[in-house]
Each structure stands twice: as C-alpha cells, then as structure tokens.
Amino acid sequence: LGMGTGLGRPRSLPALPLVGSLLQLAGHPQLHLRLWRLQSRYGSLYALWMGSHYVVVVNSYRHAREVLLKKGKAFAGRPRTVTTDLLSRGGKDIAFASYGPLWKFQRKLVHTALSMFGEGSLTLERIICREAASLCETLSTAQDMALDMAPELTRAVTNVVCSLCFNSSYRRGDPEFEAMLEYSQGIVDTVAKESLVDIFPWLQIFPNKDLALLKRCLKVRDQLLQQKFTEHKEAFCGDAVRDLMDALLQVRLSAENNSPLAPGLELTDDHLLMTVGDIFGAGVETTTTVLKWAVLYLLHHPEVQRKIQEEMDEKIGLARHPHLSDRPLLPYLEATISEVLRIRPVSPLLIPHVSLADTSIGEYSIPKGARVVINLWSVHHDEKEWDKPEEFNPGRFLDKQGQHIHSPSPSYLPFGAGIRVCLGEVLAKMELFLFLAWVLQRFTLECPQDQPLPSLEGKFGVVLQVQKFRVKARLRDAWRAAS
Ligand code: HEM
Ligand code: PLO
C-alpha cells in the first residue's frame, strides 16, 4: 500500500468497525456541506470509511487538479455501487463505467457524434432556437401568472437532446413526456445516493423503499429506450444517419462487417442503450437544473437581470433574435452563467473516481482501489480563492473593462477536468446561452407579489436540485413597443 513512496496516508476520520465513519456523516442531508465543514477539523484532504470502502475527500483545487489532470489516468476508475449498477446495467454506459478500452471507445463515439450533429453544425443552433421560441410562446400565454417554470424549461431542454439522440420531440402534455418527467425524478432522488444499500452491499436482499422506487423508474425508462432502439433498428438503412442512435448503430454495423473493435471487445445492445441513456439523462437533468438556478438567482438579483438586458438591448436590439455568434458580444450574460455554475455546482461531488494503482495526492500516499471524492462545493467556495464566495457576483468573471470573461481563480471546475471531463460541456453552454438570451430579451422574471423570495438552498442528490418555486414572466415594455 503506497509502497516505496515513503509517504503517509491522509488523516482519517475515526472509524468504527463495520459502520465505518457513517456516524459522523449521519444526520446531514447535504453531504457536500458536511464534507466541506469537516475540513476545519481534518484539513482539506482527509479520508473516511464508508463501510468497507476507503474514501479520500479532496477539498482544494490544487489536489483536485492533481487528481483530474496531472494523474488523471491513475484516478480514472469508477466505483461500482448497487444503484449505479442498476442504472447502467453493470457499468455498460460511460459515466459509471470504469476505465477501459470499451469505455474509451464509447466516449470517442459520442464525442464524434456530438460534434457531427451539433457543436459543429448550424442544425443544433436551429433546434435550440426552435425550442427557445416555443418556450417564449408558453411564457407569453402564462403572462403575469405565478408559473412553475420547471416543466417548461425541462421540456425545452429535453426536446434538444431528444432531437439529438432520437430525432424526435415532445409536445406540451405528451403522455410519454409526463412519464419521462416522473421516472427521471425518481432516478435523481435515489441513484448514487450513498444510501445504506451502497454502503452495505448485502442489504440489497432486504426490501428497501429507495431501491424499489429506483427499480420501478428504471423499468419505465428501459421500456422507453428499448422502444426508440427498436424503431431505429427497423428504420435504419446505413447511409442516412439522423441522430446519435443511428450513429451508434452504424458504428456497430461496420464493426461487424469488416473490423471488429478488438478481440474480446463487443459493443452489445446494452452498451448502445446505456450510452444513449446517459446522454439523454445527463442532457436533460444537468442543463435544466442550471437554468432553474439561473432563474432563481435572477429573481434574487434584479440588478443583474437589468444589466443583462441593457447589454442585449445595446448589442443586439429587439429587431432580431439572439444567435450563438452573439456570445462574444454578451460578456455579462456569459459571466452570469459562469457565476451560476460556480455558486451552485450541478454535480457538487462530481462522480466518485477510483485509483487504478498505488499513487499519491500531494504529500500523501493513496492505495489502489481508493474512492476519491472531489468536493466541487469546497473548490468553488474556498475563501482563499474567492472573495465572499456565497455572494452572487457575475462581475468577478469579467476583466477590468467588463468586455471579456475569465476565471479569476484556478479554483473553478464546473465540468470537471481531464480524461473524465464532462462530454456535454459545449452543448450545455450553447443551450444555457441561447435559452437565457431568448427569454431575457423579451421577459423580465419576477417573484410573484406577496411571496417571499424562494430559498437558495439546494437539495443534494446526483445533481444539486433546486426547490420548487414560482415566477412571474412579464413581457418587457421595450419588447412590446418594438413589436
Ligand atoms: C460528467 C458537469 C451537462 C454528459 C460530468 C461531470 C461533471 C459534469 C462535473 C463529472 C466529471 C468527473 O467525474 O470527473 C456537467 C454540467 C453540465 C453538464 C455542469 C451542465 C451545465 C452535460 C450534458 C451532457 C453531459 C448536456 C450530455 C450531452 C456527461 C457524461 C459524463 C459527464 C456522459 C461522464 C463522463 C465520464 O465519466 O467519462 N458532467 N455536465 N453533461 N457529463 Fe456532464
Ligand atoms: C439523471 C436521471 C436520468 O434518468 C438518468 C441519468 C443518467 C446520467 C446521469 C444523470 C441521471 C445525472 C447527472 C449525471 C449523468 C451522467 C453525468 C452527469 C450523473 C442519473 C453528471 C452531472 O455527472
């Protein structure tokens, strides 16, 4: 263990046999905050036991960058847990699959497909703008009502990934969409929650409320994925690749016909399904969550909203819609998005990494098989790096002239980094920019009268969720006058 390095282990929380450090972690629903606070007693790098698993917690950007970038390959593994194994059929997806040739291949495939349909082409911009227009339409009809924007934002974002993955989209009130909303919420609420099931693998033989909910939701999701898969297989003709599903089918077809990927490597139906499931799931839950946080912070900070609108009025005006090519013209909007991603990281503990060999972090030795949790919350709220970290201040991402955005500190990794970096970063940023620009060009978002400002406290889970809140979308006078 850490042999030959001559280094000591990180300081460990006291551990009781069997229960591990569970007692210290119990009773706090927000695991990232609990781990953040433990720094004052144990330092920024410490270890703990989850049942029989040795877990190292990283709270500083220097160590985080060492794990993700400098030693990315040594820490590229993923733990297997009961819930993520159910979600991904034993790691046949990308996010919860451990490091290996098949994972590498799946990642590359998706990366290529995404740049083919989306990032590189105008098609994706057209799709996002179509959904943004439809979202604005809905907001107009609900004008001056106290509206729960969540389902509308979710549908807009879902239709973008749906177009990308399956070449399809949902109308308002579509029963398949309603079913998707429900199962996805169930999965977000249960998966990867270091519930007792994940800590004591043998508990899975006992009935467990969460596990039952997860299984029920996965059944619905799997049916939906299977149906899309079957439809695509039947319609697929090999030359017209319409979406990600087609792209995956085509790669497999050519691998079967001429060159097998490698001896012993096979891309099964399960691999294709789980890969699309990842992109669909990540595509919906992450971007929607960030949009909800952005709207919530704009309610709390009308002055930020006003500044975004002034910038837009000046640079774009009201006679045309915002385009992606306007991004360099709207640094304040970009800075606002960056600040939302900092103050409420979607994935506050990333996905746990696992060391694939004996290695080290800083001056400490880390044994092979250790789980490494990067606490992005700590990294983004480090007082040595950020001035008043709990203050929402987009200006911190702007240069002195307010013309360019930059990160004032290296302590900023909203999408992770290195070989496990988020696959959807470019797509997500395109969506966040266009949706917010379209909405704020036309509407001012306000808290409904006589209602207190909604809470900024998140709900910890596989993504840091926003509590339900209502919004009044008021058509801007300037927009009304211009049209
Ligand atoms: C992984 C953030 C949107 C697909 C991750 C990770 C983070 C992250 C922090 C974990 C990195 C690690 O474990 O080291 C975000 C944020 C998003 C976003 C903040 C929105 C603003 C998306 C979208 C997609 C996506 C839209 C799909 C197109 C993935 C996948 C992984 C991942 C597949 C797993 C990568 C791997 O394990 O190799 N993301 N993400 N993400 N993300 Fe995203
Ligand atoms: C979200 C619920 C879906 O029904 C299934 C799903 C698939 C991929 C997961 C995603 C969920 C949550 C966010 C995750 C994503 C893979 C990468 C992403 C974990 C569980 C992040 C932010 O790391």
The residue among 43, 55, 45, 63 whose CA lies nearest residue 15 is 55
What are the C-alpha distances in Å from 69 to residues 57, 405, 450, 461?
Answer: 17, 23, 49, 25
Q: How far apart are CA 45 and CA 362, in angstroms?
A: 9
The residue among 119, 125, 177 whose CA lies nearest residue 151 is 177
Residue type, 211: L
Q: Is 349 a pocket residue for ligand 1 (Cβ < 6 Å)?
A: no
Q: How far apart are CA 376 and CA 382, in angstroms?
A: 10
Cβ-count burial 224-250 (b if 16+ within 10 Å, e if not): bbeebbeebeeebeeeebebbbbbbbb
The C-alpha R_g of the chain, in whole angstroms, comes to 23
User: If phi over 0 gives left and psi between -120 and 50 gives alpha, with beta otherwise, what is residue 51?
Assistant: left
Q: Is 287 a pocket residue for ligand 1 (Cβ < 6 Å)?
A: yes
Ligand closest in space to the Cα of 78: 1
Note the pTM of the prediction, 2 decimals: 0.95
Atom nearest to 107 CA in ligand 1:
38
Ligand closest in space to the Cα of 98: 1
The residue whose CA is least distant from atom 11 of ligand 2 is 281
pLDDT tens-place string over residues 242-279: 889 998 998 888 777 766 666 667 889 999 999 999 99
pLDDT tens-place string over residues 204-217: 555 578 889 999 99
Q: How far apart are CA 14 and CA 21, in angstroms?
A: 7
Q: What is the pLDDT along the chain (483 residues), one digit of tens a residue?
A: 445 557 899 999 887 665 666 666 665 668 899 899 989 999 999 998 887 789 999 999 999 999 999 999 999 999 998 899 999 999 999 999 999 999 999 999 999 888 877 655 668 899 999 999 999 999 999 988 999 999 999 999 999 999 999 999 999 899 999 999 999 999 998 887 765 556 666 665 555 788 899 999 999 999 999 999 999 999 988 778 888 999 899 888 877 776 666 666 788 999 999 999 999 999 999 999 999 999 999 999 999 999 999 999 999 999 999 999 999 999 999 999 999 999 999 999 999 999 999 999 999 999 999 999 999 999 999 999 999 999 999 999 999 998 889 999 999 999 999 999 999 999 999 999 999 999 999 999 999 988 899 999 999 888 999 999 999 999 999 999 988
DSSP string, 77-96: B----HHHHHHTTTT-SSTT
Ligand closest in space to the Cα of 429: 1
Q: How far apart are CA 205 and CA 22, in angstroms?
A: 21
CA 36 remoteness from chain centre: 20
Ligand closest in space to the Cα of 64: 1
Residue 75 CA, ligand 2 centroid: distance in Å: 20
| Contact criterion met (CB below 8 Å) for 201 and 194 | no
Ligand closest in space to the Cα of 430: 1
Residue 476 CA, ligand 1 centroid: distance in Å: 35
DSSP string, 320-346: S---GGGGGG-HHHHHHHHHHHHHS-S
What token pair was written down for 409? 């500190």
Residue 281 CA, ligand 2 centroid: distance in Å: 5
Other C-beta atoms lying within 10 Å of the C-beta of residue 137: 11
Residue 286 CA, ligand 1 centroid: distance in Å: 8
The residue among 468, 472, 310, 307 whose CA lies nearest residue 395 is 307
Q: Is 283 a pocket residue for ligand 1 (Cβ < 6 Å)?
A: yes
Residue 425 CA, ligand 1 centroid: distance in Å: 7
User: If phi over 0 gives left and psi between -120 and 50 gives alpha, with beta otherwise, what is residue 86?
Assistant: alpha
Element counts in the chain: helices (H) and strands (E): 18, 9
Q: Is 277 a pocket residue for ligand 1 (Cβ < 6 Å)?
A: no
* DSSP 8-state assignment for residue 385: T
Ligand closest in space to the Cα of 341: 1
The residue whose CA is least distant from atom 15 of ligand 1 is 415
Specify burial of residue 472 (Cβ count, 10 A radius: 0-12, 13-18, 19+).
buried
Q: Is 431 a pocket residue for ligand 1 (Cβ < 6 Å)?
A: no
> Which of 78, 213, 278 should be mutated for ligand 2, with most atoms under 8 A from CB?
278
Residue 19 CA, ligand 1 centroid: distance in Å: 31
Instruction: Characterize the bridge pairing of strands 443-446 and 11-12.
Output: unpaired
| Contact criterion met (CB below 8 Å) for 329 and 317 | no
The residue whose CA is least distant from atom 41 of ligand 1 is 424
> Which of 78, 286, 349 should be mutated for ligand 2, with most atoms under 8 A from CB?
286
The residue whose CA is least distant from atom 18 of ligand 2 is 282
Q: Residues in the chain, how many?
A: 483
ipTM of the complex, rounded to two decimals: 0.99
Atom nearest to 347 CA in ligand 2:
22
The residue whose CA is least distant from atom 5 of ligand 1 is 422
Q: Is 428 a pocket residue for ligand 1 (Cβ < 6 Å)?
A: yes
- Backbone angles phi and psi of 41, in degrees to 5: -95, -35
